[in-house]
Structure 1
Amino acid sequence: MVRKIKKKKSGIRIFVLVLLMVVFAAFAYRSIITPGNHQISEKEYEDETSLNSYIKIIPDSSGDRMTTVPPSKIETDHSVSISLSSNKLNSTNAILIRLKDNTILMQKNSEEKIYPASMTKIMTAIIAIENLPDLNEEIELTHYTFNGLYSADASMAGFKPGERVRAIDLLYGVMLPSGAECCIALADHIAGSEQNFVKLMNQKAVVLGMGNTHFENTTGLHDENHYTTVKDLSILLIYALQKDTFRDIFTSSRHSTQPTNKHPGGITFYSTMFEALGDQDIIGGEILGGKTGYTDEAGLCLASIAKVGNQEYILVTAGAKGSQYSEQFNITDALAVYNSIRK
């Protein structure tokens, strides 16, 4: 009888010991998979590293300048300040970003809907670059390419129906003189139609996290359903500038095409931004490149890149009063903002 009781007590001890071991193991496992330590899935990693989530903003004490707290915890350089209030700008919408760490230094109505006008062509160009296997391939502009462009008073690069042009020359035609016929020719060649090409543009906007953007055409001609924000455009420009071909085109002041069957001597393009800038420049730096835009509804617009000191900055502005025949207040704003950067 005594032996049976001892055996029973021994069994209880073993059971309790096993139970404690199970509890301890469960506790240890839970501590390993807490939110602070769990492994990131591929989808979560893509979300965290998207440009949209990267530009996370908080207001500073002035109310109109902004700094960022990126998810990657890159330190903000507090030694940089902007001596210009955004309220002094002619443009109704603006955003200034330092490219080194995507810090937003100034913004004004940056998430308000705007019409992008020819700044649209930044997306047109980057989609074309990413879908052209050979930039020296010749593309023919047909009579259909020009349908509706002249009646819409679209800006043109100067090519003619039946002209065979290298893809790279069409890309320069898109960005420097803002040639609408170049946009349509690239769209038709790559996607079969402008409508199909626009689908690629909208898909890219989604991938980049441009949540307040929708495109209806490749040229920026006005349409109520063709809209974006300067913040979304800054996300696009940051992305596009990482592509060497785009950066080369975006920062060119002029480009001469190869001879074609319609232009034996080629055509020389001049950047609309550099033409408007003239001999003006910024103190302690230079404006490296840009893309202008204008429609009656969009106002004067500009997406640009500049180097001040040893840092690069991008500025996207929209909604300035005036026209292509008035003072170029988009250029005036760019000079004022870049000149206001102080270290």
Structure 2
Amino acid sequence: MRCINKKRFAVLATLVAVNIACMGIFTGCSFMGKKDDSYNIALSSAGDSNNKINSFLGEGLCVTDEVNFGLEKVSSESAEEAGVFNVTKKEVTYSQNIYKKLYPASTTKILTAYIILKNANLNDVTTVSENAVKQAGDSSVCHLKAGDKVSVKTLLYGMMLESGNDAAIALAEYYSGSTTDFAKVMNRYASKLGATHSHFVNPNGLPADNHYTTLYDMYLIFNSAVKLSNFKEIVSTKEYTASYINANSKEVTQVWKNTNGYFKGTYSAPDGFTIIGGKTGTTNAAGHCLVLYSKNARNEDIISIVYGGKTKPDLYKFMTQILNEFGK
């Protein structure tokens, strides 16, 4: 674990200000050809900015600089980026490229769920569009059909458990009318949460040049999401029976299962840890990804994130390693 001082808070305050200006009009911030860009941090004194940064980002965050640490104790070559955040102690205990821009795949849906849960009536019923169900053959879906009348709550379960790209688009269209307008909401919320090195163009995380985040930004987003009791309830659910009405006014029932390998029993959870929930994500561009919320044996809240895993077994083996080494 690396400690952080007032100088780092001053840097973060500067980053926030600069990136808010950039986020004001989403031009000149393209991810095209800049996937390896990281935060350009120059540690310099800028006065006491503690109050400014705390008032913007909120108090009690895990903060560190851009220096990697802990890599020699684990199989860090298994993934591109990883981080362990002891939320209870407010410490970053493992850091591997956490400020590097990357494709977030379906972990994008964490922000989509957060926005919907903060603002929508979960009992609202929306009609699934042709656009929502028009997915590529290899796309992750929860098998909705055009004309299905589905509650917002049910769509959230389909999006977060089955990682349904169709459900994500249906939610975006329900809330904003289009995925383009919903992406604008996503970017406003990301900026508000301090995730100022992110830019989103869709609600589901399918690859796009201008759709990116950093591991630290995703920590900020997920850290806010897990404070919502209904978010924790959804992501901790292993199996959900969905019921809704199709275009022919017939009831449809589906059973959706969580894609989390720890929940499925495919991989054993680290000894002493209770896995609360999280979100998986996989694309060719992003690799295998997992954002996880757990509690250690001391009942401390731990957020751990792995991005760019080479294979799914590598992802879970590495996640288990970093929790065993840096989450206890």
Matched, 1:102 2:108: no
Q: Note if contact 1:64-1:85 (Cα within 8 Å) is conserved in structure 2.
A: no
How far apart, CA to CA, are the structure 2 residues paired with 1:45 and 1:141?
45
Q: Which position in structure 2 is the counterpart of 1:188?
A: 173
How far apart, CA to CA, are the structure 1 residues paired with 2:244 and 2:131?
22
Per the normalisation by structure 2, the TM-score is 0.77
Q: Which position in structure 1 is the counterpart of 2:26?
A: none
Matched, 1:137 2:124: yes
Q: Which position in structure 2 is the counterpart of 1:9?
A: none
Q: Which position in structure 2 is the counterpart of 1:56?
A: 63
Alpha-carbon shift at residue 254 of structure 1 (Å): 1.3
CA gap 1:256/1:223 in 2 versus in 1, 3 angstroms:
same
Q: Note if contact 1:84-1:337 (Cα within 8 Å) is conserved in structure 2.
A: no
Q: Note if contact 1:119-1:301 (Cα within 8 Å) is conserved in structure 2.
A: yes
Alpha-carbon shift at residue 139 of structure 1 (Å): 1.0
CA gap 1:95/1:341 in 2 versus in 1, 3 angstroms:
closer
Per the normalisation by structure 1, the TM-score is 0.74
Matched, 1:278 2:263: no
Query: Secondary structure in 2 aligned to 1:168?
Result: helix
Query: Secondary structure in 2 aligned to 1:183?
Result: helix
Q: Which position in structure 1 is the counterpart of 2:43?
A: none
Runs of 4 or more consecutive aligned structure 1 residues displaced over 4 Å after TM superposition: none
- Structure 1 unmatched runs, 5+: 1-34, 66-82
Q: Note if contact 2:128-2:148 (Cα within 8 Å) is conserved in structure 1.
A: yes
After alignment, is 281-290 or 234-243 more displaced? 281-290
Alignment of structure 1 residues 115-264 onto 2, 5 Å:
115-132=103-120, 134-147=121-134, 149-150=135-136, 153-261=138-246, 264=251
Describe the superposition over 1:170-214 as per-residue Cα deviations: whole angstroms up to 9, x where unpaired: 001111110011111111111010000000000011111112101
How far apart, CA to CA, are the structure 1 residues paired with 2:73 and 2:126?
47
Describe the superposition over 1:72-130 as per-residue Cα deviations: whole angstroms up to 9, x where unpaired: xxxxxxxxxxx972553511101100121331110101101110000000011111112
How far apart, CA to CA, are the structure 1 residues paired with 2:52 and 2:171?
30
Query: Secondary structure in 2 aligned to 1:328?
Result: helix
Matched, 1:302 2:307: no
How far apart, CA to CA, are the structure 1 residues paired with 2:94 and 2:189?
26
Q: Note if contact 1:139-1:167 (Cα within 8 Å) is conserved in structure 2.
A: yes
How far apart, CA to CA, are the structure 2 residues paired with 1:215 and 1:192?
17
How far apart, CA to CA, are the structure 2 residues paired with 1:204 and 1:178?
21
How far apart, CA to CA, are the structure 1 residues paired with 2:318 and 2:325?
11
One-letter amino acid of the structure 2 residue matched with residue 130 of structure 1: K
Query: How much is the aligned-residue C-alpha RMSD, in angstroms?
Result: 2.5
How far apart, CA to CA, are the structure 1 residues paired with 2:181 and 2:296?
40
Describe the superposition over 1:128-161 as per-residue Cα deviations: whole angstroms up to 9, x where unpaired: 11221x21111110223223x225x321012111
How far apart, CA to CA, are the structure 1 residues paired with 2:84 and 2:327?
13
How far apart, CA to CA, are the structure 2 residues paired with 1:109 and 1:341?
16
Q: Note if contact 2:66-2:98 (Cα within 8 Å) is conserved in structure 1.
A: no
After alignment, is 105-114 or 261-270 more displaced? 261-270
Query: Secondary structure in 1 aligned to 2:237?
Result: coil
How far apart, CA to CA, are the structure 1 residues paired with 2:265 and 2:256?
16
How far apart, CA to CA, are the structure 2 residues paired with 1:299 and 1:270?
21
How far apart, CA to CA, are the structure 1 residues paired with 2:210 and 2:104?
11
Describe the superposition over 1:23-73 as per-residue Cα deviations: whole angstroms up to 9, x where unpaired: xxxxxxxxxxxx99xxx9xxx95632344884331589xx614xxxxxxxx
Describe the superposition over 1:242-266 as per-residue Cα deviations: whole angstroms up to 9, x where unpaired: 1111111111111111343367352
